[in-house]
Amino acid sequence: MIIFPAIDIIGGQCVRLVKGDYATASKVAENPLETAKQFEKAGAEWIHMVDLDGAKAGYPVNTEIYRNIAQNTHLKVEVGGGIRTLETVQAYLDLGISRVILGSAALKNPQLVADAVKRFGSEKIVVGIDAKNEMVATEGWLETSEVHYLDLAAKMIGLGVKTIIFTDISRDGTLSGVSAEQLRKLAEATAGQCNIVASGGVHTLSDIITCRDMGLYGTIAGKSLYQGTLDLAEAIKTADTLRIRPMQISDYDALYELWTACGNGLNNLDDSREGIARYLERNPNTSFVAEENGTLAGAVLCGHDGRRGYIQHMSVSPDFRRRGIATKLLNRALDALKAEQINKAALVAFKKNEGGNAFWEQQGFSLRDDLNYRNLALKDMIRFDPEY
């Protein structure tokens, strides 16, 4: 599970609200960039940011702050507040923002959500569902609708949304604990269909454990970090639910779905269930999968002939990218090869696998239309695009 430290901005200042009431805004840190760097130092990979001025105005206001953090830290930045057009989404992504949050637009302009997912991909678009008494609120939480949060979640999933941030406004900024019951209902209603991020009320490590054990994708922490009731480094360590384990033939159906989603070139012989079973029988200790809460996040199919290792497939689900999973998988495979006295490896790839091979090409591989083998010392195979 990912911990998203939060910075909300009003008038260029880092603030927190209580229950979404702008009149309760209080300054919690001096400098947004320095605060983000402190989060990064504590081990955060992501940062959650909201343009509260933009949420009220209906258009971005504090854009320069988000650009500054995206370009001067290694954090992956997700931003929401006042995003109402595809042009605004594009502008944020062009600044280096990793994900854009659509809030009010999800209720008032669902076509925008559908168009954004289609144009930019589900990994770049997040929907924020904020609720008062289980009913969706919009316009910086200043308006409450008659739409139930579970109904809006179902509609968003139907539009292709893969990540939803749910905020119980009655708990936001109160340090009263997460809204476990509403989150549980949402997790059950959307199981296997999208990622759920909890927001609002996080107080202590027990809230992180509650969300982790519920199988949520992430939890946003704000006021608890600024007031010291939650230690970010400890929360990140506690929340880690990613498990790297040996690949088994029982993973085949999920593997095939993953490879297809990533655009990997598959053939009926080697990549059939029987073909993979033979492969794992010959090389039982060098292929691995990454699993989170029972969902296959990534996989590396790796073997050797006694002299040289072969990376046959390296894939990370589009829903789990930008978390360094590929690096973890590859390092695990290379360690396994070393344990079997293999010190050279080769990539096996097709150029036509556009989705699956993007990061290899960025590492300088010249992929051909036919099979491409390249001998590398194992130490040369650990540089990866952070997208993966």
Q: Catalytic annotation on 8? A: yes
The single residue of 130, 168, 207, 271 carrying the catalytic annotation is: 130
> Nearest CA to 270 among 262, 259, 261?
259
Which stretch of DSSP H or E encloses residue 368?
none
Among 44, 108, 113, 106, CA closest to 78: 44
Q: Is 130 a catalytic residue?
A: yes
Which DSSP symbol is given to 367?
A: -
Residue type, 192: G
| CA atoms within 13 A of residue 23's CA, in its CB half-sphere | 1
| Alpha carbon distance 112, 26 (integer Å) | 33
Helix (H) or strand (E) holding 314: strand 309-316
117, 110, 120: which is closest to 129 by C-alpha?
110
Q: Which letter, b or e, does each residue of 172-195 get, where b requires 16 or more Cβ atoms within 10 Å of its Cβ? A: bbbbbebbeebbebbbeebeeebb
Cβ atoms of 10 and 53 within 8 Å: the answer is yes
Q: Would you tell me how many other CB atoms lie within 10 Å of the CB of residue 123?
A: 18
Q: How many residues does the chain have?
A: 388
Take residue 121 and report the two structure tokens written for it: 């991909």
Q: Count CA atoms within 13 Å of residue 386 on its CB side.
A: 7
From CA 133, how far away is CA 128, in angstroms rounded? 16
DSSP 17: E
Q: Residue 284 has which token pair?
A: 């039982």
Q: Which residues participate in catalysis according to the annotation?
A: 8, 130
